[in-house]
Chain A
Amino acid sequence: MTTDTDAAGTNRAATDSTGSKGTGAAVRETRRTTVTNGPGRPGRPRLTRRGIAGAAAGLAGIVLLVLLPLLNLSLPGVLPGPTYTPGSLQLLAMCMLMAAAALTYHLLLGVAGLLSFGHALYFGAGVYGLAIILQNLDIPLLPAMGLTLLIVIVLAHVVGSISLRVSGIPFAMVTLAFAQAGSVIVGRNPDGRTGGDEGLTLRTDNLPDILVGVANTRNLYWLALAVLVAVFIIVTWVQSSRAGHVAAAVRENELRVRVLGLQPYLVKLLIFVVSAILVSIIGMVFLLLQSGAVPRAMSADLTITLLVMVVLGGVGSRWGAVIGGVFYTILDQRLTTLANSDAIAALPDILRVPLSEPLFILGTLFILVVLFLPGGLTGTAQRLAQRRNRSRGTGAGDSAGNDSTGGHAAGGQSTAAARDILEESA
């Protein structure tokens, strides 16, 4: 991955720098001293320096994002208006939530190697659970969220423990079936609770005022940003915890992990449940942002969207999931605008019909990425950077390890961690 010899150590440093401050880094630090033997040490001073630089860059990025609603920046072609306008903030907040949701999917697919087609069930449970509770019970927001969370935890345990009896492709089918049951409930509208195809409008009586109304979009934006940062930190932490390492080891070689006396089933269930809990919280914030619940929140389409985001960004990479989520959300929004534009309407049918369907373009793009860009956007960026470095000669590994590609290194890191587990226990 890098030109120097301490590749494993460098990658870890790169991931450290990518935004996790404190917990994740600390945990990994202890792990490294106990587990890895040798390679990291010579590069230690440089690692720290780069770690600080990376953390500083991450912090600066977050500060910029926090300040965004107070600034008057325009990104024509990407945002519908200047950054302080509710329309732009709404879109940006949506990007944050989708990026966070993609991160939780990364936990399943990238870390534990679980191809789930039922992730929307928990997102939807968050959306609909909170909407229905707020509708029917007179309790404040936080207790309502706690109650929703409780339901999701039970649901995730039940579905997870059944689905994980099979693995691989059958697991994908089974999770899809369970999610479909959820989607059907929403569509059936039992006792008029879910609103059927129309969905539910958020009842705002018991919500804090600062989260209600178009004027307060920026508060919701900040909330979404906070959720994204929190999810990123938690995902990083889970990934670098012992459970994360065992999960990665299971992904590489389940049989061996089982032979070693570890419990792949329980670890996978843990990852499954954590991922479900996180995405349900994202769903609750999504409800607040959208001021309503729509059936799409519980549909297989949503799971597929998350899958597409993760693959577009690059499987196994945290930053890939974030970038994929943001990229997809903006592209989807832009393509929808484009589809309704006069320029498209004027085209002959053979061009107009496909171009006026955003999902056609996104689906095709997705196929092309899978066929021709293994590793997605981050993987490709990394490869390009590497090629450039190689042509420039030695000592250039630094830039490849940093920023956008740091997340991809996370894949490498968990692979290395997986080996650690296998070797350590051997």
Chain B
Amino acid sequence: MTAAAQTRPILTVQGLNAHIAGQQVVEDVSFTVPATGITALLGRNGVGKTSTIKAIIGLIERTGAVELDGERIEKEPTFKIIRSGVGYVPEDREVFSKLTVAENLRLAERDAAPRRQLVEELFPDLLARSGQMAGTLSGGQQQMVSLARALLNTNKILLVDEPTKGLAPKIVAEVAETLAEAAKTVPILLVEQNLHVVRQLAGGAVVVSGGRVVHTGNALEFLDDAELTQQLLGVSTEPAAGKTAAKGAAL
């Protein structure tokens, strides 16, 4: 964390606002993502984490300043932002269900020399299923396709939105492992509800509430502070009490 803080951040978000259908979903959000390791973007359900990610790459209308590796990108269209070196793994995976696995991957290739070999090594399962329609894959396999699409290219940053959502524990572990592996070469901004995964992976943490950033700091320190976690995420980090607390927060 301290080492990362000394170098220039890879991504700087300053005063980001975003609207969907006239409703403000991101309000004056500011944070930075260091150039190494995994930074977790945390918060309760519906506080604007996904919207923040989408606003960064221009999938929803936004104002404010976004700087990627020293370049301002907030005025650029989505495809140019992605091409300048962003890998995006969306919530709910969003694979093209009527395209084959191979087509899904080919569509994502934007480098002159995409790292097909790496992807094949990471996800041997996909190679075997390359002719299958992506819509017929299991959730875990679709997540592999979605991750593979981002890992095919050389990126300055990966934006990964809830990669373990709805997956079986075994697959969750696999996904976490993949992310840890990827993080050795590329910084990641990770939205994740599963706090075990966050503990396992994240260095820094940015906590959002009501569309605003309410806390930034070290992820482990944050999660160890039970009171603060309870207050900002509505969950206790103690597994036993976790469920009831989450329910209380939802109501």
Q: Which residues of A contact B (CB under 8 A)?
A: 252-253
Residue of A whose beta carbon sits closest to that of B23 = A253
| Residues in chain B near residue A253, CB distance under 8 A | 21-22
Shortest CB distance B25–A (Å): 13
| Residues in chain A near residue B22, CB distance under 8 A | 252-253
Contact with A along B16-32 (1 / 0, CB 8 A): 00000110000000000
Shortest CB distance A251–B (Å): 11
**A252 to B23, alpha carbons, bound, how many Å?**
11
- Contacts between the two chains (Cβ within 8 Å), count: 4
**A384 to B118, alpha carbons, bound, how many Å?**
60
Interface of B is mostly: loop
**A252 to B22, alpha carbons, bound, how many Å?**
9
| Residues in chain B near residue A252, CB distance under 8 A | 21-22
Q: Can you report 4 A-B residue pairs in the complex whose CB atoms are below 8 A from each other?
A: A252-B21, A252-B22, A253-B21, A253-B22
**A253 to B22, alpha carbons, bound, how many Å?**
10
**A252 to B20, alpha carbons, bound, how many Å?**
11
Shortest CB distance B29–A (Å): 23
Shortest CB distance A79–B (Å): 44
**A253 to B20, alpha carbons, bound, how many Å?**
11
**A175 to B109, alpha carbons, bound, how many Å?**
43
| Residues in chain A near residue B21, CB distance under 8 A | 252-253
Shortest CB distance A408–B (Å): 18
**A338 to B21, alpha carbons, bound, how many Å?**
45
Shortest CB distance A204–B (Å): 54
**A149 to B123, alpha carbons, bound, how many Å?**
68
**A253 to B21, alpha carbons, bound, how many Å?**
8
Shortest CB distance A113–B (Å): 12
Shortest CB distance A414–B (Å): 14
Shortest CB distance B251–A (Å): 15
Residue of B whose beta carbon sits closest to that of A253 = B21
Shortest CB distance A257–B (Å): 13
**A138 to B117, alpha carbons, bound, how many Å?**
87
**A287 to B21, alpha carbons, bound, how many Å?**
43
The 4 closest A-B pairs by CB, nearest first: A253-B21, A252-B22, A252-B21, A253-B22
**A252 to B21, alpha carbons, bound, how many Å?**
8
Residue of A whose beta carbon sits closest to that of B21 = A253
Shortest CB distance B23–A (Å): 8
Contact with A along B145-183 (1 / 0, CB 8 A): 000000000000000000000000000000000000000
Shortest CB distance A174–B (Å): 24
Shortest CB distance B17–A (Å): 19
Shortest CB distance A423–B (Å): 12
Shortest CB distance A416–B (Å): 12
Shortest CB distance B119–A (Å): 38
Shortest CB distance A362–B (Å): 33
Question: Which parts of B23-64 form the interface with A (CB within 8 Å)?
Answer: none
**A287 to B5, alpha carbons, bound, how many Å?**
79
Shortest CB distance B169–A (Å): 33
**A253 to B23, alpha carbons, bound, how many Å?**
10
Shortest CB distance B137–A (Å): 29
Residue of B whose beta carbon sits closest to that of A415 = B22
**A397 to B21, alpha carbons, bound, how many Å?**
28
Shortest CB distance B80–A (Å): 25
Shortest CB distance B65–A (Å): 28
**A252 to B19, alpha carbons, bound, how many Å?**
14
Shortest CB distance B21–A (Å): 6
**A314 to B40, alpha carbons, bound, how many Å?**
47
